[in-house]
Structure 1
Amino acid sequence: MNLKNKKYTTTSAPIFRSFGKFILLNFVIALVLTLFQCAKCFLSSEGLVSILPDFGFSFLMSSALSMGGFQVQEFFDKRIPWIKKPVKRLLLTAGSYLIYSFIVSYVLVILYVLVSVEGMTLGKISWWDIIGYTKMPVAIALVIISIFTTRSWLYQWRNSALETEKLKSENLASQYQSLKNQLNPHFLFNSLNALSHLVYESPDKSAAFIQQLSRIYRYVLDVQQEELVAVERELAFAQNFLSLQKIRFDESLEFRLVVDRMEEYFIPPLSLQLLLENAVKHNVASMENPLKIIIERIDDKLIVRNNLQEKLTPEVEERGIGLENIFKRYALLSDQIPKITKSKAEFIVELPLLRLDE
């Protein structure tokens, strides 16, 4: 899935969950403004009566500005996401809201003067005084737009981060499943190929091989949907897999598992199968020079080693299968990666043991 083509959720959740909260918020704002204008008026009943018109005006102004700010944010949230065009969004939001605030403030101040001052008419109003009266509402508008803008940006940033993480997880899961899907055909092909040779060499061995293969393939089917499996299950599978190969190679193959209890550790499923399969596939095994495979644990690593007896004309391994497959799956699941050491005598692969709480 291409992250560049993803759609962003741009609509903010309503800031006013109910009409009651809207009224309460603007009531508090109006109360603070009135207190700022005449604190001593709150000390007497006459003072309270005298400031009621101012309180009503402040409440009306605050309600108009806050509702307008919310509507402006909602309008641009649906059209210009913060994530895509932050500068354009900021300029348009701030500009639109300041123009709205000035017009609303101007109109409300004129209405307030006409109502509160006896004999006042439009012709007697000093327009410069009106502009001066709008300074406080515009300052309030700047505070409101700052709050709305910050909230809107944080909301969209959070949604974008969550959607990006979701898409990333889905993409990684898809990649991981694709890698796992490569294993079943690969394993089955190699097993049937080995069986075809064994049928001609020894019919009795081929019957035992088929029985053992059915048990092994049952495990392959069981873990194909798993991201991680317990190491103990993989070791039991490795024991069965090597026993299967023992039927085929007899004394030409020797193996040993030296591990203790490891209930808390996990590895990607069928990792051991790929390593063991590669060891058998790319090395010569004979009674004079048997292939020796050892699986052991050292600290937080599961070590798979075999003596190196490479075939003169090694088979070409398909891309994405084998070691490359293991490396890719570890990269998708953890920051730990396997390590390969090759010398003249040995081929060693170290698989990191993973914990579910890491």
Structure 2
Amino acid sequence: MVAAGITIVSEPSCLSSLSGMAAVADDFSISFLLSVALSYGGFLSESYFDERISWIQYPVRRLVTTCLVYFVYVFCTSFIIIFLYSLLIKERFTPGNIPWKDLVAWTWFPMQVAFVLSFIFISRSFLMEWKKAAIEAEQLKTEQLAQQYQSLKDQLNPHFLFNSLNVLSNLVYENQDTAARFIGQLSRIYRYVLDVQQEELVAVSREAGFAESYLSLQKMRFEDALQYRINVPETAGYLPPLSLQLLLENAIKHNIASSEQPLCIEISAEDGCLMVRNNLQMKTSQPNESAGIGLSNIRKRYELLSDKAIEIGNNDGYFTVRLPVLTRIYDKNSPVAQL
């Protein structure tokens, strides 16, 4: 294509007849040879500098160096090809009578073609490296977010175990039979904690089932002082793992629970959210061992996974937290969120 274009530009009358086309056959050959040499040189120069000078880090140096090397190559190559063509094929001069000025002038047109080719090669090289850099930056961002999310999840395992052991230590002295049943139930619950440790999301039904097991575990300790109701009928979607457990744990930890003042907890599905609500009867002194990671942990995990945020309310004597139910296709293109 390049050779045909050069030939037509040089001799536009060649298209008028077959004899005209035959007359420029030699010119087409030299044009083809030049176009191959120019294209191959552009490819080689870009490949060479792609490994040595980055467009992203040193754009000016890369542009100047690439253009300088390529145009020197084009001039030398064109000069040699035109010299041999004029001497051996066209016989325009003899070895003893070489028109150096004319040969230099004849390289002007290949240099113009080289300018167009260099623009194409440079644009392609720059776009390819920019795309590669963008992909690498996105991968790095993904890794950083994944590590950040994993660190948040890693908080849950020891946090859950620590608080459960504190409860167990009290039960051992109060009621050994209850403590034994507590240990059995705790082992089953802790199996779930280990199973979901490496998951970004778990099904709402699994979280609701775990909440049921967790509350029944606490029921062994508090008996009539704790009342709960779970109403999550076939709710599709997903939640960050152990979100419900953290909310339930906070409710039990920070509120009075007694036979005279039972703590009532309700979990229900409402408008694309899972709502956790408990009556407010705050303790006068809060536990010192509270790590304060409950609501903060859930909020940060939602920020990494979606543009939906948890909603917290404190109205009419009730503390309410609404957890948006997520899907496998999230609301923003978070790298952590793409499973």
Among 141, 146, 155, the residue aligned to 2:128: 155
CA distance in 2, matches of 1:312, 1:32: 89
Query: Which amino acid letter does the alignment assign opposite residue 68 of structure 1?
Result: G
Q: Does 1:273 align with 2:282?
A: no
Q: Does 1:106 align with 2:79?
A: yes
Residues 86 and 92 in structure 2, CA contact (< 8 A), matched pair in contact too: no
Find the counterpart in structure 2 of residue 311 from structure 1: 283
Report the AA paired with residue 278 of structure 2: N
1:167 aligns with 2:140: yes
Q: Match of 1:181?
A: 154
| In 1, Cα distance between equivalents of 2:90 and 2:241 | 84
Q: What residue identity is the alignment partner of 1:346?
A: Y
Question: How do residues 273-312 of structure 1 correspond to structure 2 at under 5 angstroms?
Answer: 273-312=245-284
Identify the match of residue 224 of structure 2 among 224, 237, 251.
Answer: 251
Alpha-carbon RMSD across the aligned residues, in angstroms, is 2.0
**Matched length:** 329
Residue 256 of structure 1 and its aligned partner are, at CA, apart by 1.2
CA distance 1:123–1:355, shift in 2 (3 Å): same
TM-score normalised by L of structure 1: 0.86
Structure 1 residue 226 corresponds to structure 2 residue 199 = yes
Structure-2 residue corresponding to 1:4: none
Q: Which residue of 2 aligns with 1:337?
A: 309
Aligned to 2:51: 78
Structure 2 gaps, min length 5:
331-339
SS in 2 for 1:313: coil
Aligned AA for 1:273? Q
Distance (whole Å) between structure 1 residues aligned to residue 96 and residue 302 of structure 2: 81
Which deviates the most, 284-293 or 99-108? 99-108
Match of 1:136 in 2: 109
Corresponding position of 1:238: 211
- Secondary structure at 1:342's aligned position in 2? strand
Question: Quick one: distance in 2 between partners of 1:281 and 1:337?
Answer: 24
Partner residue, 2:66:
93
- Cα deviation for residue 42 of structure 1 reads 5.3
Once the two structures are TM-superposed, the CA of residue 136 in structure 1 deviates from its matched residue by: 1.4
Cα 1:110–1:345 shift into 2, 3 Å: same
Pairing 1:321-336 to 2, within 5 Å after superposition: 321-336=293-308
Matches within 5 A, 1:29-68: 29-41=2-14, 46-68=19-41
SS at match of 2:230: strand
Q: Name the SS for the 2:167 alignment partner.
A: helix
- Counterpart secondary structure, 1:94: helix
Measured in 2, the distance between the counterparts of 1:222 and 1:178 equals 17
Aligned-partner Cα distance in 2 for 1:139–1:290? 89
Residue identity opposite 1:326 in structure 2: I
TM-score, length of structure 2 as denominator length: 0.90
Alignment check: 8 A CA contact 2:93 2:99 kept: no
Distance, in Å, in 2 between the alignment partners of 1:179 and 1:38 is 73
> How far, CA to CA, are the matches of 1:343 and 1:314 in structure 2?
21
Secondary structure of the corresponding residue to residue 254 of structure 1: strand
1:344 to partner: Cα distance: 6.9
Counterpart amino acid of 1:86? P
Query: Match for 1:347 among 293, 297, 319?
Result: 319
